[in-house]
């Protein structure tokens, strides 16, 4: 019996049902829905399968094969496809769409009607068109319908289309035939699609990866080496692995844009004129430094403007500079044996710091042209060339000579300039200094510490006397040092002398022509006798004062220590986690970590006993529930207030156990409280108590105003400084150190299980061992049957449930990554399976945008495969403390050693904005008064918004650069100079 050709064919339905989505990683070898002409498939015997071609609403053919010889026994009807070339495939997929009629719905067919058909294939190197021999065919599978349809469905025009996919392979010949064997079913084969999977061409990390066919063996990956895109070069060999499903996995290595090119949207784009990039790497093109330019595109370096130069060792990031102007205010100071030349640095240093001076001496006769060089005759101290101080002493000069000294300022680019040398000139006549003194240097009076001197003013001086210089020294220490003092009058009181000590004095005059030679030396003594007593008394007084002062100081110090000590003690004991920011003072009340250990409440025979032991029962009348803030596994989570007699009312979060629970659920709920109640640390959520004696059963904990860390960070994307983020991480690490010291393994450490209070203090929450994982929406079942948050969990814990503080350290690394990426999902949209595979292959999460290298290094340390190599929480805490104390270590470091020195020092706010391609906001910054980098470095995201930066992406770019700038400025200040 046949049911006729169109007994279950509804073309309108199929036309819609066959619409497909893009399968971009599939290469289709055959798709019967897209064959426009005849299919030309063979049927054996002729009256078995029936080929029907219908037209759909777009007038495209729909090829269907039907067979329905359900009444006749021993059916063996074959349908054979044309030869299908396998192309590059090693394994192919056959997707069948068909309808199948339910035998029970056909009357009187019970013995003969079947509900399956068989799928076969046969490999050959070419289409042979010869006779069909079923024996040559290999069976792929028996195909049954998930959904068969009945007469009633047919009446309702409901067709139940089945889709079945089978893998075929490995295929070694050039192609193959498919064959469909019907053994007495009522089938309509609506479409056949044969395809193989490939990892499609892709661009990753500036490398291109070609179309790649996966291995037949689905457990092994194909390693593919990428080729750098144009104008990029390899940093580490870029590689991807092609997985069996046509997905690219485990990106390793990368390319970076070459010099003169920067990355924009995955390709390397030439730097615009006026910009340059001197090093290959993931850095942007920078605006040409001052006094340099680039006219063309893709400049590796900017050329210096005319008159400006770059010294051989100047980095390309440095401004071009020029030789300095001449020294200023050149003066000399002449005495019998020494000529001191002094000058002021040039007004223009040329933009450099490597300023030096050369001195040249000329001795001229009456004719100015008749000069000879005279350096060799004289001695210069410290030398005539390369002087770094603006002074030189000249000795060994002749007594009656005219010397002309030329002082030249030089810097690192002086040799490059063809401009005439810039020199300051002075002529010194060694016999025409100022007028020497006539007459003696008289002592007017002396005291224990002073001597008053006077002398006669020289008469008839050619030039007016500017002042006198009095030189003096202790007679006994003549060779050690001398002092001098200046006076305009011909008298002076020299003070600061020692009592009863002989001093030597001499005086010289100074005119515009220089100094005269010194007068003869005069020796005078300070008084000592009677004044010695006074002095001794003075000393006694000093000693007494010092003794009394010292004692007073001692008393004050002792009192201070007592007071601060007690305050400190108070601070330690009264320091509530809510208000505890000063971690160093907020010590755990566990005096010696490791001594108090965690007790697993599950080890209690009677769980109620554990609740009693570790928690406080709260009278519900002390609790005021205010709002519902969330839903937990056991009931609502509310916020409210808790009153405690004699204490301030506090904000609390209240977890409730909804009614209708069984004893087991009640214990699961209270287990968390019995665990939490054992902890007391500023970075662990604090249990206030439980309500178990009345309904509803409640757990009351401290209230954390900012909720869970992951959503908090997502809501405040880009809002915090790196130091603030590190502060949060430090808190979490400190809480985890406490837990590991107590011997408690968390197993579900993740940003969603950290709570944040109004002071940004982060506290670890969600305790309860296995229950935690049941409750966690991230936890997935593993092949070994456990429920595990794959992305946060160490490989050994996933594979064989080896949970330890070391596996918590792995999770901590993931939390670090979540924090530094402001709540990004670890491994993004990769499937759990891909995450496991990638980790096994050695892939690790890359540094989030703007994350300091030191922090990423710490993450990588936490993600060591060998769990004993991971850092302990105590190491993590001290490492983070060091980073916080030394903010320059948090600078995002340059990638190549060459860049290290040349972290761009932006000159102006405008230059900085240009460098981050945010030039359009220059006027906003200026109008709001942010015209120095120091002021910019203090801006918050609110400030950035307030000045009119509206686009979130721009706000992020600016704020992330400000963070770098902030650290950079700190770094500069640390080094002791300002930008
Ligand atoms: N959600 C869950 N526990 C909380 C708490 N302690 N504070 C605020 N929100 C919470």
Residue 888 per-residue DSSP state: G
Cα distance between residue 469 and residue 491, in whole Å: 10
Residue 271 per-residue DSSP state: P
CA of 640 to the centre of ligand 1 (A): 11
| Backbone region of residue 276 per phi and psi (left: phi > 0; alpha: psi in -120 to 50; beta: other values) | beta
Three-class DSSP category at 551: helix
Q: Confirm if 339 and 397 have CB atoms less than 8 A apart.
A: yes
In ligand 1, the atom with minimum distance to the C-alpha of 685 is 6
* Predicted local confidence at residue 104, as pLDDT: 85
Ligand 1 pocket member 701 (CB < 6 A):
yes
Q: Is 828 buried (19+), middle (13-18) or exposed (0-12) by CB count in 10 A? A: exposed
Ligand 1 pocket member 755 (CB < 6 A):
yes
Ligand 1 pocket member 676 (CB < 6 A):
no
CA of 816 to the centre of ligand 1 (A): 21
| Ligand 1 site-directed mutation target among 634, 639, 673, 712, most atoms within 8 Å of CB | 639
Cα distance between residue 435 and residue 453, in whole Å: 19
Q: Confirm if 964 and 916 have CB atoms less than 8 A apart.
A: no
* Predicted local confidence at residue 892, as pLDDT: 60
* Predicted local confidence at residue 727, as pLDDT: 95
10-residue stretch averages of pLDDT, the chain, 979 residues long = 40 38 80 88 91 83 91 92 93 94 81 92 84 91 83 64 92 95 94 94 94 83 92 90 84 90 94 94 92 95 95 92 92 78 91 93 75 83 92 81 89 90 83 63 89 84 81 77 83 89 88 73 81 36 35 37 35 28 29 63 87 94 88 85 93 90 89 95 96 92 97 92 93 96 94 95 83 65 72 94 95 97 90 88 86 91 93 94 84 43 54 81 88 83 87 79 69 45
Nearest CA owner, ligand 1 atom 9 = 707
Place of tokens 């070694």: 172
Nearest CA owner, ligand 1 atom 10 = 707
Three-class DSSP category at 755: strand
Ligand 1 pocket member 703 (CB < 6 A):
yes
Ligand 1 pocket member 709 (CB < 6 A):
no
Cα distance between residue 616 and residue 620, in whole Å: 12
pLDDT one-digit tens code per residue, 911-969: 788 777 788 898 898 888 888 887 888 888 888 888 988 887 788 778 877 776 666 66
| Ligand 1 site-directed mutation target among 634, 701, 763, most atoms within 8 Å of CB | 701
In ligand 1, the atom with minimum distance to the C-alpha of 704 is 7
Cα distance between residue 624 and residue 661, in whole Å: 23
CA of 703 to the centre of ligand 1 (A): 6
The token pair that represents 671 in the structure block:
């287990």
* Predicted local confidence at residue 953, as pLDDT: 75
Ligand 1 pocket member 653 (CB < 6 A):
yes
Q: Confirm if 675 and 747 have CB atoms less than 8 A apart.
A: no
* Predicted local confidence at residue 579, as pLDDT: 27
Q: How many CB atoms lie within 10 A of CB 685?
A: 24
Ligand 1 pocket member 630 (CB < 6 A):
yes
Peptide bond connecting 45 to the previous residue in cis, omega within 30 degrees of 0: yes
* Predicted local confidence at residue 887, as pLDDT: 78
Place of tokens 């390319």: 255
In ligand 1, the atom with minimum distance to the C-alpha of 702 is 6
The token pair that represents 845 in the structure block:
């999460």
Nearest CA owner, ligand 1 atom 4 = 653
Ligand 1 pocket member 629 (CB < 6 A):
yes
Catalytic positions are 748
Cα distance between residue 884 and residue 894, in whole Å: 20
Cα distance between residue 962 and residue 522, in whole Å: 66
Cross-strand bridge partners of residue 292:
304
| Ligand 1 site-directed mutation target among 698, 704, 762, 764, most atoms within 8 Å of CB | 704
Q: Is 16 buried (19+), middle (13-18) or exposed (0-12) by CB count in 10 A? A: exposed
Ligand 1 pocket member 637 (CB < 6 A):
yes
Nearest CA owner, ligand 1 atom 1 = 707
Distance of alpha carbon 332 from its chain centroid, rounded?
57
Residue 792 per-residue DSSP state: G
The token pair that represents 161 in the structure block:
């289309």
Cα atoms in the 13 Å half-sphere on the side-chain side of 696: 19
Nearest CA owner, ligand 1 atom 3 = 653
CA of 763 to the centre of ligand 1 (A): 10
* Predicted local confidence at residue 408, as pLDDT: 95
The token pair that represents 438 in the structure block:
């006539």
Residue ranges at the known binding site for ATP:
629-637, 655
Residue ranges at the known binding site:
629-637, 655
CA of 811 to the centre of ligand 1 (A): 21
* Predicted local confidence at residue 426, as pLDDT: 87
CA of 706 to the centre of ligand 1 (A): 8
CA of 562 to the centre of ligand 1 (A): 39
């Amino acid at each position: 019996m046949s049911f006729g050709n169109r007994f279950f064919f509804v073309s309108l339905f199929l036309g819609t049902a066959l619409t497909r989505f893009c399968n971009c990683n599939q290469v289709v070898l055959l798709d019967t829905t897209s064959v426009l002409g005849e299919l030309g498939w063979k049927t054996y015997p002729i009256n078995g399968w029936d080929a029907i071609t219908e037209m759909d609403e777009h007038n495209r053919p729909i090829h269907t094969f039907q067979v329905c010889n359900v009444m006749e026994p021993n059916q063996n009807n074959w349908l054979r496809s044309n030869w299908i070339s396998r192309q590059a495939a090693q394994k192919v997929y056959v997707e069948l769409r068909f309808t199948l009629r339910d035998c029970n719905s056909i009357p009187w067919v019970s013995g003969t009607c079947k509900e399956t058909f068989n799928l076969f294939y046969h490999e050959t190197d070419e289409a042979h068109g010869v006779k069909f021999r079923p024996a040559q065919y290999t069976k792929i599978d028996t195909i049954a319908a998930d959904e068969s349809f009945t007469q009633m469905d047919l009446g309702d025009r409901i067709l139940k289309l089945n889709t079945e996919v089978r893998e075929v392979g490995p295929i070694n010949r050039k192609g193959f035939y498919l064959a469909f064997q019907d053994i007495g079913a009522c089938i309509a084969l609506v479409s056949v699609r044969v395809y193989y999977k490939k990892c499609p061409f892709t661009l990753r990390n500036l490398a291109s990866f070609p179309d790649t066919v996966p291995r037949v063996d689905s457990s092994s990956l194909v390693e593919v080496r990428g080729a750098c895109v144009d104008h990029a070069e390899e940093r580490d060999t870029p590689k991807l692995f092609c997985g069996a499903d046509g997905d690219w996995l485990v990106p390793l290595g990368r390319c970076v844009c070459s010099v003169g090119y920067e990355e924009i949207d995955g390709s390397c784009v030439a730097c615009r004129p006026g910009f340059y990039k001197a090093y290959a790497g993931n850095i942007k093109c920078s605006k040409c430094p001052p006094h340099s330019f680039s006219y063309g595109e893709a400049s590796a370096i900017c050329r210096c403007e005319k008159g400006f130069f770059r010294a051989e060792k100047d980095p390309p990031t440095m401004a071009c500079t020029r030789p300095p102007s001449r020294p200023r205010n050149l003066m000399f100071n002449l005495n019998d044996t020494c000529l001191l030349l002094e000058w002021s640095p040039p007004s223009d240093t040329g933009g450099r710091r490597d300023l030096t001076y050369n001195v040249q001496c000329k001795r001229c006769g009456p004719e100015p042209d008749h000069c000879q060089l005279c350096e060799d005759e004289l001695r210069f101290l410290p030398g005539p060339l390369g002087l770094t101080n603006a002074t030189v002493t000249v000795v060994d000069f002749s007594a009656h000579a005219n010397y002309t000294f030329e002082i030249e300022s030089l810097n690192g680019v002086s040799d490059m300039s063809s401009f005439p040398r810039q020199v300051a000139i002075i002529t010194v006549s060694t016999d025409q200094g100022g007028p020497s003194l006539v007459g003696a240097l008289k002592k007017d009076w002396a005291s224990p510490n002073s001597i008053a001197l006077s002398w006669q003013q020289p008469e008839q001086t050619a030039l007016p006397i500017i002042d006198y210089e009095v030189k003096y020294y202790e007679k006994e220490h003549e060779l050690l040092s001398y002092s001098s003092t200046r006076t305009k009058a011909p008298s002076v009181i020299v003070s600061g002398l020692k009592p009863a000590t002989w001093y030597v004095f001499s005086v010289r005059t100074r005119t515009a022509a220089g100094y005269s030679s010194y007068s003869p030396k005069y020796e005078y003594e300070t008084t000592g006798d009677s004044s010695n007593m006074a002095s001794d008394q003075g000393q006694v007084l000093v000693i007494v004062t010092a003794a009394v002062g010292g004692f007073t100081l001692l008393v004050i110090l002792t009192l201070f220590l007592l007071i601060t000590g007690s305050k400190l003690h108070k601070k330690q004991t009264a320091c509530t986690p809510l208000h505890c920011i000063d971690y160093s003072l907020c010590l755990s009340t566990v005096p010696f970590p490791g001594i108090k250990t965690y007790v697993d409440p599950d080890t209690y025979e009677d769980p109620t006993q554990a609740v009693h032991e570790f928690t406080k029962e709260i009278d519900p009348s002390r609790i005021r529930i205010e709002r519902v803030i969330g839903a937990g596994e056991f009931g609502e989570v509310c916020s409210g207030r808790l009153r405690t007699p004699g204490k301030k009312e506090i904000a609390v979060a209240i977890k409730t156990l909804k009614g209708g629970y069984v004893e087991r659920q009640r214990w699961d709920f209270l287990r968390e409280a019995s665990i939490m109640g054992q902890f007391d640390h500023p970075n662990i959520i604090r249990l206030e108590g439980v309500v178990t004696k009345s309904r509803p059963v409640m757990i009351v904990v401290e209230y954390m105003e900012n909720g869970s860390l992951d959503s908090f960070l997502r809501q405040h994307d880009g809002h915090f400084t790196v130091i603030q983020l590190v502060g949060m991480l430090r808190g979490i690490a400190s809480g985890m150190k406490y837990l590991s010291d107590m011997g408690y393994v968390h197993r579900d450490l993740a940003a969603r299980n950290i709570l944040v209070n109004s002071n940004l203090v982060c506290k670890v929450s969600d305790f309860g061992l296995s229950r935690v994982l049941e409750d966690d929406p991230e936890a997935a079942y593993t092949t070994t049957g456990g429920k595990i948050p794959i992305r946060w969990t160490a490989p050994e814990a996933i594979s064989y449930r080896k949970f330890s503080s070391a596996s918590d350290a792995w999770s901590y690394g993931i939390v670090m990554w979540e924090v530094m990426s402001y709540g990004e999902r670890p491994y993004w949209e990769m499937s759990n399976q891909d995450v496991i595979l990638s980790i096994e292959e050695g892939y690790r999460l890359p540094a989030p945008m703007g994350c300091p290298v030191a922090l990423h290094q710490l993450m990588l340390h936490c993600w060591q495969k060998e769990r004993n190599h991971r850092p302990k929480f105590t190491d993590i805490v001290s490492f983070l403390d060091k980073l916080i104390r030394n903010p320059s270590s948090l600078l995002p470091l340059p990638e190549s050693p060459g860049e290290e020195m040349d972290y761009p020092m932006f000159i102006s706010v405008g230059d900085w904005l240009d460098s981050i391609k945010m030039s359009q906001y220059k006027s906003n910054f200026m109008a709001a008064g942010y015209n120095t980098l120091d002021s910019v470095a203090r801006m918050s995201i609110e400030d950035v918004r307030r000045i009119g930066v509206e686009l979130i992406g721009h706000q992020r770019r600016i704020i992330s650069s400000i963070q770098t700038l902030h650290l950079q400025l700190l770094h500069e200040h640390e080094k002791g100079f300002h930008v």
